Structure 1
């Protein structure tokens, strides 16, 4: 881990620069530019709010904000994981010519998607004001919750990036698994209210994204404290899995260049 912190200290500027460059290139030829970063999740929120709020008559309080919070956090997690699978192959020109710690590419992607997520949260602030949602000090729990989200996301990305080099079909498998997890995370429904108690406990403890989304909604919408115990457990699990992933990446750095 000493090598990890040393490499992070010496290369974090590259991660920031790379993320900024990718953000600029993404909106360079678009008429709406950065507005798409907000418009896309906002449109999905409207669609889900109509389908589940009107068609299926969902009774969740502050339902549009409930959905938008879920979509915003999920999009960050989903994009980071799907992009990590072919990350080394997509950066072949860099990886094969210049040495750079491979996990820096992952951090760059997290910066890239995290910056876009910030734009969505600006909309959430406006929605909170519009719907007159009372804010309590429990909203500060958002900070440790997002730390857990970042750690778990990075942990998953390290392993997906590694195996994505050697397994050609991993991208397809990842998309299928993420789609399944999407429906088991409670993006557009409240797991604790909609599912039987015996399934609720399994999903909330075994699915870190369900735990994260539930925690964000509790402290932002309802002024409640999240499940701190299980958030801490998943933080520790994320640290361990990330450490194993980083070790695997360092061990196979030379192999990546040969395979891609």
Structure 2
């Protein structure tokens, strides 16, 4: 792990520069530029609010904000994890010509998606003001929740990126799994009230994404203290996954160029 921290510090500026370049390239030639990063999640929130709020009768308090928080954290997770499968192959020109710790590719992608998530959180704050959501110091719990989510994303992305180099079918498998996780995470419904006991407890606690999204909603909307026990459990699990992923990358990264 000492090597990881040395490389992390050494290549951190490169990651920032690469992420900034990716963001600029993404909006180049677009009339609305970065405004799409606001309009896209807002439009998705409006669609899900209409379908599940009016058509299917979602009754959760502050329902549009409830959905938007779920979509914001889900997009951060989904965009990073889903693209990590082919991350090495998509950066073949870099991987085959210069040495770069391969976890930096994940780090750069995370920075891009984290920036987009921050824009969505600005919208969430605006929505909380409009809906007059009560605010207390519990909103500060969102920072450790996001930190745990980021560790989980980094660890999973490193593992998936590594195996994605050697298993071509992994891309399709991950897409199917992410679709299942999306509907099992409770983005647009409350797991604890819509799923019968004891299955709701298992879905809410054994699915890390569902757990973290639920705790984020509690902190931001309902002003309650998160379940520290489960935050601690998923923090420990995330660190273990990170260590496993980093170990795999360092052990096999010299063979990536040969495989691709």
Task: Give the superposition deviation at 1:254.
Answer: 1.3
Residue 201 (structure 1) aligns with = 201
**Corresponding residue for 1:80?**
80
1:141 alignment partner in structure 2: 141
Alignment of 1:13-28 (within 5 A): 13-28=13-28
Question: Which stretches in structure 1 are left out of the alignment for 5+ residues?
Answer: none
Aligned length: 260
Query: Partner residue of 1:41?
Result: 41
Q: 1:240: how far off?
A: 0.8
Mapped partners of 2:95, 2:155: distance in 1: 21
Q: Which residue of 2 aligns with 1:235?
A: 235
Deviations 1:167-187 (A, max 9, x none): 111111101100000011000
Partner Cα separation in structure 1 for residue 228 and residue 147 of structure 2: 13
What aligned pairs does 1:145-184 form with structure 2 within 5 A after superposition?
145-184=145-184
Equivalent position SS for 2:242: helix
What does the per-residue CA deviation read over 1:69-112, in whole Å, with 9 as the maximum and x for residues that have no partner? 00000000000001110000010101111101000110000000
* Partner Cα separation in structure 1 for residue 247 and residue 59 of structure 2: 47
Alignment partner of 1:96 is 2:65: no
Q: 1:221-260 counterparts in 2 under 5 A? A: 221-260=221-260
Superimposed CA distance per residue, residues 85-142 of structure 1 (whole angstroms, 9 cap, x where no aligned partner): 0000010101111101000110000000000111111110110000000001111110
User: How far has the Cα of 1:241 moved from its partner?
Assistant: 1.1
Partner residue of 2:53? 53
Tell me the alpha carbon deviations over residues 149-199 of structure 1, each in whole angstroms, 9 at most, x when there is no partner.
001111100111001111111111101100000011000001111111211
Q: Does 1:190 align with 2:185?
A: no
Displacement over 6 Å in runs of 4+: none
| Residue of structure 1 equivalent to 2:119 | 119
Partner of 1:211: 211
Q: TM-score, normalised by structure 1?
A: 0.99
C-alpha distance in 1 between matches for 2:138 and 2:194: 24
RMSD over equivalenced CA pairs, Å: 0.7
- Alpha-carbon deviation of 1:246? 0.4
Q: Distance in 2 between matches of 1:192 and 1:171?
A: 32
Q: Distance in 1 between matches of 2:142 and 2:26?
A: 29
Aligned to 1:105: 105
TM-score, structure 2 normalization: 0.99
User: 2 CA distance for matches of 1:103 and 1:138?
Assistant: 33
